Amino acid sequence: MIETIIFYVFAVTTVVSACAVVTVRNPVHAALFLVLTFFTSAVIWMTLEAEFLAISLVLVYVGAVMVLFIFVVMMLDINVARMREGFVRHLPLGLAVAVIMLGIMLSVVTSDVFFMDVGSEPVARAADYSNTKALGGVLYTDYVFAFEIAAVILLVAIIAAISLTLRKRGKTKYQSPAAQISVRKADRLRIVKMPSSEE
Give me the residues that bind another protein (CB under 8 A), please: 113-115, 118-119, 129-130, 133-134, 137-138, 140-146, 148-150, 152-153, 155-157, 159-160, 163-164, 167
Coil, helix or strand for 169? coil
Cα(168)–Cα(99) distance, integer angstroms:
51
C-alpha 194 chain-centroid distance: 67
Closer by beta carbon to another protein, 119 or else 177: 119
- Quote the least distance from Cβ 120 to another protein, whole Å: 11
Whole-number Cα distances in Å, 59 to 38, 39, 56: 10, 10, 5
- Quote the least distance from Cβ 57 to another protein, whole Å: 20
CA torsion angle for 103, 40, 138, 118 (degrees, to 10)?
A: -30
- Quote the least distance from Cβ 82 to another protein, whole Å: 26
Closer by beta carbon to another protein, 166 or else 181: 166
- Quote the least distance from Cβ 63 to another protein, whole Å: 26
Closer by beta carbon to another protein, 76 or else 149: 149
Closer by beta carbon to another protein, 87 or else 114: 114
Cα(42)–Cα(57) distance, integer angstroms:
6
